[in-house]
Amino acid sequence: MTAVSVIIPVLNEETSIGDLVRDIRTRHPDFEVLVINDGSSDETAAVAASAGARVHSHPYNIGNGASIKSGIRKARGEYLVFMDGDGQHRPADIQRLLDHLPEYDMVVGERDRRGQSTFFRAWGNYLYNRLATYVTKFPVKDLTSGFRAIKADIARQFIYLLPNTYSYPTTITLGILRTGRSVKYHPIDVHRRRDGRSRVRLIPDGVRFLMMIIKICTLYSPLRVFLPVSAFMFLLGVGYYGYTFLFWGRFTNMSALLFTTSIVIFMMGLVSEQICQMRFDHHEPDK
């Protein structure tokens, strides 16, 4: 079995994919380079194949996350490296990530602020990192980085959770941390795209990322979401009751509704936490 598979999802990257594949093959001739062509309309697949990559093509554009899932299914290596095909990630950093395996279950390339494409995306990623840190109780330094190395058997356990969109790094990071596995962040340098443009849209994909984080949070750590909402409703009820008692000397229906809602949300969180734990116990493979 090939020890390492480098998985590169691409869409219309004929100008950059050839140089990237050749660079990887020169540095690591024994690695499998697997290019997942997500319905490109140009010569991306042919260029990648001529450069020495093993190419798997989707019949039409499905999504970046879907390409990652196809790569995980098709890869032959014991370790998987995910990287972008637009020239942003440097093949020289691959070995730096692999040096931390198998000590860690996943190693993520950590970009600095200069590696973010825009100021707004940098701040958006910062907020996502803070939210993910709160949920996982682990210092998440780059939640959306697409450059990472992971043990293949662990990656396959999370295929069913990964979305078809760009937010797959968010899902797999939160999933791995919540299941008690180890993650290492390693600083990397990132080049700007050659055409200067990113396919990630600020508002639509930003909202999608946020919803995905909330979804994964409620899936893996429900009380971290339900408990703050319950506490907020309870404090709101206390505040409103204090206001009505001070001015009218009575307990109102609105205060009762707020207290009741707080209790209901808290109990839903407890039930969700128990269901979550049972799902983990059932899903965890026997050794």
Task: Name residue, tokens 């909202």.
Answer: 207
Residue 227 has pLDDT above 90, yes or no: yes
Please say whether the beta carbons of 145 and 110 come within 8 A. yes
How much is the mean pLDDT over the chain? 86
* d(C-alpha 203, C-alpha 205), whole Å: 6
Listed residue (193, 194, 216) closest to 65, CA to CA: 216
CATH class of the domain whose range is 4-220: alpha beta
Residue 248 has pLDDT above 60, yes or no: yes
pLDDT at 97: 96
- The single-letter code of the amino acid at 105 is D
Residue 133: count other Cβ atoms within 10 Å of its Cβ: 15
Listed residue (79, 95, 146) closest to 116, CA to CA: 146
Token code pair at residue 4:
């390492």
For 154, counting Cβ atoms within 10 Å of its Cβ (0-12 exposed, 13-18 middle, 19+ buried), the class is middle
* d(C-alpha 76, C-alpha 34), whole Å: 9
Residue 53, SS3 per DSSP:
coil
* d(C-alpha 231, C-alpha 138), whole Å: 23
pLDDT at 256: 95
pLDDT at 118: 58
Strands (E), the chain: 4-10, 32-38, 54-58, 79-82, 106-110, 148-151, 183-187
**Confidence grade of residue 71 (pLDDT, cut at 50, 70, 90):** very high
* d(C-alpha 250, C-alpha 246), whole Å: 8
Give pLDDT tens digits for 92-137: 999 999 999 999 999 999 987 665 555 666 777 788 888 888 888 8
**Confidence grade of residue 163 (pLDDT, cut at 50, 70, 90):** confident
**pTM, rounded to two decimals:** 0.81
* d(C-alpha 26, C-alpha 20), whole Å: 10
Q: What is the mean pLDDT of residues 197-216?
A: 65
Residue 60 has pLDDT above 90, yes or no: yes
Token code pair at residue 8:
């590169």
Domain residue ranges in the chain: 4-220, 223-283
* d(C-alpha 77, C-alpha 160), whole Å: 20
Residue 27: count other Cβ atoms within 10 Å of its Cβ: 12
pLDDT at 1: 45
pLDDT at 5: 97
